[in-house]
Structure 1
């Protein structure tokens, strides 16, 4: 089974305001986008389980013209809070690298 790092040329995560995280998956071409963008591994329930959030709050957008899937979910604590470990959310994509599609 291919993993996300096998079929995406770039992944990034970033803060989407003080209460949300956004992850962008840039597939390496239209063929892999068409084949894997709707994978069960990229659906809200799986993302919610991976990031410890409510699946009903996970937002997912596919942008076929760019071969991109954008996933947003609420942060577990507000940006800049006392227990903040990744203020800009730049490392959150790492959990997805080994996910099988």
Structure 2
């Protein structure tokens, strides 16, 4: 299997305001984009399991022209809360870099 890190030139997470997190996955090339854009790679269930997000509130957008996938969802706690361990959301991508991405089907 190929890791997400091998297919992306950029993987990042950040705040999208004080109540949302957003993740950007920019592919290295068209072939890599086709792999990361498969519906089975980024799923609401994956982000629900990793981040405790409600799958019904997870937005996944595939930007073909940008060869990127964006995932956004409400933060588990608002930015700056006493229990917020990453105020800027910049370290939340870490559990995803080693995600195994299957070969495209078909």
| 1:40-59 alignment runs, 5 A limit | 40-59=40-59
How far the C-alpha of 1:39 sits from its partner, in A, is 4.4
**What displacement does 1:43 show?**
1.3
Structure 1 runs of 4+ aligned residues shifted over 4 Å read none
Gaps of 5+ in 1: none
What is the deviation of 1:29? 0.6
Structure number with higher helix proportion: 1
Using structure 1 for the length normalisation, give the TM-score. Answer: 0.94
Unaligned runs of 5+ in 2: 102-106
**RMSD between superposed Cα atoms in Å:** 1.0
Which runs of structure 2 are paired with 1:57-96 in the superposition (5 Å)?
57-96=57-96
TM-score (norm 2): 0.90
Task: Give the Cα–Cα distance (whole angstroms) in 2 for the partners of residues 59 and 36 of structure 1.
Answer: 16
User: Structure 1: how far apart are the matches of 2:65 and 2:41?
Assistant: 21
Q: How many aligned residue pairs are there?
A: 101
The answer to whether the Cα contact below 8 Å between 1:40 and 1:46 also exists between their aligned partners in 2 is no
